[in-house]
Chain A
Amino acid sequence: MRVFVHDGSFDGVLAAVFDAYSRRAFPDMLLRKGEALPLFCDDVCEVHADEAKADRVWRALQKKLSPSSLASLVMCWFSEQPGSAEWIFRYVCKVMDSSMSIEGNWADKDVRTVLQWGKKVASERERLLQFLRFQKMADGVFFAAVEPLYNVLPLAVSHFRDRFSDQAWLVYDVRRGYGFYYDRKAVEEVSFPEPPKGLRGGWLDPSLVAEDERLFQDLWKTYFQSVAIKERKNARLQKQNMPVRFWKYLVEKR
């Protein structure tokens, strides 16, 4: 059994593809560094995440795939699923081996897996854009706590930078303990080894928020309650569109 061990980065997986083709030897298993090796393996090969190698594979993909399929591939990586490296590896190999474009082949399992996971992650990113709520802090920075299923925060940063370019903001991923801070000039990644103080269940302590924050939260709640038409109440549709797992971070549903 042949095993490739990659370093756990997207570039590492692409480099694994490069190595497989240059050695003309394809792995039976693709493992992340530190994962336990299977009992019987006669050929273990460590892949060095060489940027040049990854870059060559990526450029080849750019020639053969549409931008939306490339995006699916990246999204699939951010799903953080245990099998995602292998899915991507197999998909890329299929793309390389085929003379015609395979990206529309929904009936193929590997293609479908990448497209489906790409879609799942893309919709989780979309939900982040929908249901993220900022709270204004006393120092004027807008803070939001989020808890996405997949690691989609990096994919959403460009949206928030463009949209809220004239306000400082901080978005914090509660589950993964890191976030992004924008100071009206540039975005930087910030990590929190332990949960920040003054944050309870995603909500800032009242002593930390701006003076008018409470008022605008009340106004929004009022808006939310008044805009519903009682005669048309439909809780099922509401939950379908706005899953309950987001509610604790929503001003109007808290």
Chain B
Amino acid sequence: MIGEHVIGKLKVLVEAAKYDVSCASSGVSRRSQGGLGNAAAWGICHSFSDDGRCIALLKIMLTNYCMYDCAYCVNRRSNDVPRATFSVSELVELTIEFYRRNYIEGLFLSSGVVRNPDYTMERLVRVVKDLRLKHRFNGYVHLKSIPGASRELVDEAGLYADRLSVNVEIPNEASLRLLAPEKDFRSVFTPMSYIQQGILQSKEDARRFRHVPRFSPSGQSTQMIVGATPDSDKDILRLSSALYARPTMKRVYYSGYVHVNRYDARLPVPKTPPLVRENRLYQADWLLRYYQFRVDEIVDDALPNLDLDIDPKLAWALRHPEFFPVDVNKASYEALLRVPGIGVKSAQRMVMARRFSSLGMHELKKIGVVLKKARYFIVARGQDSPLFPDLGAARVRALLSVPGASRKAEALQLKLAFES
């Protein structure tokens, strides 16, 4: 039974889990099967916290005791933070009561490693098993797979959870070894491949047999910390691209490093998390997943880091004047997607609308295409003199660049000084 004493525990265990970025609840569509809950394919965000992030799931740890000592982690063994542990029944009741009030879509459960990986993983599996079997809970469950847990436990978890994930955290093995002496790439990629094999096996079986339990139907995801190590955007995006090439990897999240352990000399102490860089990485990630870009078109050995002042698609466009201008009435869908400022939706609408009449700037505006960036790179009816490349990359860049976060802060200070 849950009482007042749970409030304190909840606080500790949420604080411990909040640096995990993933909160997606999409990817599974499940109608009610008697009992409580269903899962909506597109995911539902039920609230937005003060940092603007979506809250879809009860993101929490079973315990924040941990036997590892990873430098970047708030829950490392050598940190002096309050520790707490939920019992399986408390966590199950909390999830169900929150769900019944429409606070959440489901549970995102993770844990510090206690005693050994198998012991911890087994307790995680017990929570989701209790939810599914005892309480007939059909909501969304995302389970962290504990590095080093045995294959049998991962296989069992996959039968009850909608998504399993293992965090890479550090994109480079040497850096990972330095910061997390008890971990290496093998301990991360082994459970990832267990999950992948489980999903593929279940899909294969579904082709042959009538009733096959689905295995982690929403695939797997992972997360990398940005800015804790000297790794470049090239290292990060190459790894992402390799991960997306795997059949079951749905999302790679990027988490701007928040200096939780200031005293550790192996880590930098940034004033603020690298939010602009994180944003640019997500933009690049989208280019990989939805805009048919290859990773070497975005970053390569000559340009290992993303431009912070302009988005990666604009940067690509300015490097490739030969591709422009794009004629909105003739260009293929793929070519439209390469125009800075034109997204998937706008491109689809343009392709649909131009079947009925040729498109001029006015029509584009009406359709909802944002022309701030796009107008430099396209020709339309009534406007056949292209602005780029005639205008020159440097001019366009100057017109469209967003000053970096640092410069923004400086400008603000100057302005205040002037006004006072």
Interface residues of A (CB under 8 A from B): 102, 104-109, 112, 126, 129-136, 142, 144, 159, 162-167, 212, 215-216, 218-220, 222-238, 240-242, 250-252
Contact = CB atoms under 8 A, between A and B. Distances in A.
B10 A223 contact: yes
Interface residues of B, number: 58
6 contacts: A108-B356, A130-B46, A165-B32, A219-B94, A231-B258, A251-B103
B52 A231 contact: no
Q: Is the interface of B mostly helix, strand, loop or mixed?
A: loop
Interface string B332-369: 00000000000000000100110111010001001110
Interface in B362-398: 363, 366-368
Interface in B39-72: 40, 44-55, 58-59
Contacts of A231: 258, 272-273
B2 interface: yes
A233 B14 contact: no
Nearest to A165: B32
B352 A237 contact: no
B101 A107 contact: no
B319 interface: no
Nearest to A105: B356
A102 B3 contact: no
Contact of A250 (B45, B47, B94): B47
Contacts of B14: 222-223, 226-227
**Across the A-B interface, the 7 shortest Cβ-Cβ residue pairs:** A237-B52, A104-B352, A234-B52, A226-B14, A228-B49, A228-B50, A232-B51
Interface of B: 2-4, 6-7, 10-11, 14-15, 17-19, 31-32, 34-38, 40, 44-55, 58-59, 94, 97-98, 100-103, 136, 256, 258, 272-273, 275, 349, 352-353, 355-357, 359, 363, 366-368
Given A107-B363, A165-B34, A227-B14, A129 B44 contact: yes
B366 A106 contact: yes
Contacts of B38: 162-163
Given A106-B368, A107-B357, A238-B52, A224 B273 contact: no
Task: Give the most central of A107, A216, A222, A229: most B CB within 10 Å.
Answer: A107
A108 B19 CA distance: 47
B48 A222 contact: no
Given A136-B101, A162-B32, A107 B366 contact: yes
Contact of A242 (B2, B47, B51, B98): B47
B27 to A, nearest CB: 17
B275 to A, nearest CB: 7
A133 B55 CA distance: 14
Contacts of B51: 228-230, 232-234, 237-238
A234 B55 CA distance: 14
A89 B58 CA distance: 46
A236 B273 CA distance: 18
B366 A241 contact: no
B345 to A, nearest CB: 10
Contacts of B94: 219
Contacts of A252: 47
A135 B97 CA distance: 11
A224 B51 CA distance: 11
B49 A238 contact: yes
Contacts of A241: 45, 48, 52, 54
A219 B6 contact: yes
Nearest to A236: B52
Contacts of B352: 104-106
A228 B40 CA distance: 25
B35 A166 contact: yes
A215 B37 CA distance: 22
A133 B349 CA distance: 36
A247 B256 CA distance: 29
Task: Give the most central of A142, A215, A219: most B CB within 10 Å.
Answer: A219
A129 B47 CA distance: 11
Task: Give the most central of A163, A222, A237: most B CB within 10 Å.
Answer: A163
Contacts of A106: 349, 352-353, 366-368
